[in-house]
Chain A
């Protein structure tokens, strides 16, 4: 049976303690299967980013259970010691503002993710080139991020997210800075990659023009799934 990339069971997050405690997320049950592209929507402050942070293991949950690839990651405490290793090997991140390192060119930005995971620099650059070609930004491989257009930069960021063939791709408003046409291209890419790599793609978005591009839309309100 195929492993489930993301499974949240009653996941919750409360900030602060006692009277000042604020529950940002409560009792979230979410499963994202391999090859599935799921949208996460909701008004500002509904807990979308918090949920993304919990799944990415960059914020610690306060309740529930989190399993990645059927492995228990959090169950009252983190069950995996090296969370950064988990992130670099299993999770790919795509940000609203691409977050490419401004001092590395496109190919080095992609290759860095692989060298961090232990790939030899030459092999990493080779695969980075191939990924950029695949995402149709190969001719911009040596360009610095400041020289890339918004769409090109986002495709380089996607290439970086895919560099280590992650099982989970988490995207935070990946199309917010793009026009409809480019947003559609990015979503097509994510869908294609989800299917080819059998990865689970979870996209936080406010962007109504791409709502129809998801397999499933999950709505959050006041920290709970509607």
Chain B
């Protein structure tokens, strides 16, 4: 007969409630792991979707994500003519607040020329941008279905399609608009300001400016070599996609990543302490039973088995509850909770080790219980 299971069956309600509570705590820790992974996934989502081999930006900057970068609009043609480049496209990026049907939403507006690199690689619903102006493709995180309209920079845009999982490194959903629209949005002065500039002797200024030019290379072309060629123009800088990804994870989101990582470690530590206390309390609740077992001759391995099996069952059932609730609600989280089989498996291992270590204190206490404690009132 298995004493651990018999004891759990005897106090099933209490055990399940404890598992549920522990599951909530483990779920928070698991969510943190998912959010940590999500931050990395989100940061790289756009660059992966664009499938660019080369990022051409303003000289002396590491744009367009890590730093601001501005280039003349004709740079795209220069880059497109370079040996090894298959296609090049201009892009603009800016954060904006839009008036959506559900209220004001914060979005990352990306402008590109349809038919050239810079657009989303996959459309989830609806269609991509065509030649018409004032259309946009929004990520599903913006909760804008095809057909909806939003007010962006004083102009009304119609949603023609949606993407999935394309957000900025800050978690804002991406909306894709025509390059000219985004240039107007970003660089065109408001009429009163333009009049003031004109009166001051300046002009309204050209809006043919972009933040970066992305290039796709021919198969076999060396991105580093093409980047080197670009750098010969003194007003340009170039980053390979690998350098851009590295920059995104090591620089742009580094602080958030470290913060989340440290918070996860603290949560795991707190979980370990709580698991240890629960197992200790469960063991001490059975003080008289353990003393009786010792008195009637139960070997130490039976006592150790009782504590250890209950600790592992507690951790196992709690973790199953945690995985269940995290997967059930992860889409409600404002940021991506990226959890795959690997993360769930590694976390299960961590919880197992925590339960093992946490039960050591209880095993020590159980082995120190004297048989005579079973005697008397």
Partners in one complex: yes
Residues of A within 8 A of B (CB): 49, 52-53, 56, 58-59, 84-85, 87-89, 93, 95-97, 99, 101-104, 108, 111-113, 115-117, 121, 144, 160, 172
Known A84-B294, A113-B296; judge A103-B375 contact (CB<8 A): no
The interface residues of chain B lying within 8 Å CB-to-CB of A53 are 372, 375
Q: What are 7 A-B contacts with C-beta separation under 8 Å?
A: A58-B370, A59-B372, A84-B299, A93-B296, A96-B375, A96-B376, A116-B298
Are the CB atoms of B7 and A58 closer together than 8 Å? no
- Are B375 and A49 neighbours in the complex by a CB distance under 8 Å? yes
Q: Does B304 belong to the interface (CB within 8 Å)?
A: no
Known: A87-B295, A113-B296. A99 touches B1 (CB 8 A): no
Interface-centre pick from B11, B294, B297 (highest chain A CB count, 10 A): B297
The answer, yes or no, to whether B368 is at the interface (CB within 8 Å) is no
Total count of chain B residues near the partner, CB < 8 A = 25
Query: Complex: how many Å from CA A84 to CA B1?
Result: 20
- Chain B nearest CB: distance from A205 CB in Å? 13
Identify A84's interface contact among B7, B297, B372, CB under 8 A: B297
Q: How far is the CA of A115 from the CA of B7 in the complex (A)?
A: 18
Contacts of A113 in B (CB 8 A): 296-297
Chain A CB within 10 A, most for which of B293, B296, B298, B377: B296
Are A89 and B297 in touch, CB under 8 angstroms?
A: yes
Residues in B neighbouring A87, C-beta threshold 8 A: 295-297, 371
Identify which of A87, A89, A96 gathers the most chain B CB atoms within 10 Å of its CB.
A87
The residue from A93, A108, A121, A172 contacting B6, defined by CB atoms under 8 A apart: A108
A50 → chain B closest CB, angstroms:
9
Contact B372 A88 (CB under 8 A): no
Contacts of B297 in A (CB 8 A): 84-85, 87-89, 113, 116-117
Q: Are A93 and B295 in contact (CB-based, < 8 A)?
A: yes
Give A206 to B369 CA distance when docked, in angstroms: 27
CB pair A49–B6 under 8 Å, yes or no, is no
Is B364 interfacial (CB-CB < 8 Å)? Answer: no
Query: Which residues in B have their C-beta under 8 angstroms from that of A108?
Result: 1, 6
What separation, in Å, do the CA atoms of A112 and B292 have in the docked complex?
12
- Evaluate contact between B377 and A97: CB separation under 8 angstroms: yes
Q: When each residue 345-375 of chain B gets 1 if its CB lies under 8 Å from chain A and 0 otherwise, what string results? A: 0000000000000000000000000111011
| CA of A187 to CA of B204, assembled, Å | 111
A59–B372 alpha-carbon span in the complex (Å): 8
Please determine whether B288 and A99 come into contact, CB atoms closer than 8 angstroms.
yes
Cα distance, A88 to B293, chains bound together (Å)? 10
Q: Does B3 contact A (CB under 8 A)?
A: yes
Most buried by A among B7, B288, B375: B375
Q: Which residues of A contact B234 (CB under 8 A)?
A: none
Q: Is B376's CB under 8 angstroms from A49's CB?
A: yes
Inter-chain contact B296/A116, CB cutoff 8 Å:
yes
Complex CA–CA separation, A59 to B3 (angstroms): 26
Contact indicator B294/A95 (Cβ below 8 Å):
no
Q: Does B196 contact A (CB under 8 A)?
A: no
Measured CA separation A4–B289 after assembly (Å): 31
In the complex, are the beta carbons of B6 and A96 less than 8 A apart? no
B371: chain A residues within 8 A (beta carbon): 56, 58, 87
Query: B295 near A56 (CB under 8 angstroms)?
Result: yes
Smallest distance from the beta carbon of A122 to chain B beta carbons, Å? Answer: 11
* Smallest beta-carbon distance B280→chain A, Å: 19
Which of B3, B7, B375 meets A172, CB within 8 Å? B375
Asked if A103 and B6 make an inter-chain contact with CB atoms under 8 angstroms apart, the answer reads yes
Question: B255: CB under 8 A from chain A?
Answer: no
> Min CB distance, B373 to chain A, in Å?
9
Q: Which residues of A contact B9 (CB under 8 A)?
A: 103
Interface pair B295/A103, CB less than 8 Å apart: no
Q: How far is the CA of A111 from the CA of B3 in the complex (A)?
A: 12
Q: Is the CB of B298 within 8 A of A172?
A: no
Out of A49, A99, A172, which one reaches B292, CB within 8 Å?
Answer: A99
Closest to B302 in A: A116
CB distance B296 to A96 under 8 Å? no
Interfacial chain A residues near B232, Cβ < 8 Å: none
Once the chains bind, are A101 and B299 in contact (CB under 8 Å)?
A: no
Name A59's closest neighbour in chain B (CB-CB).
Answer: B372
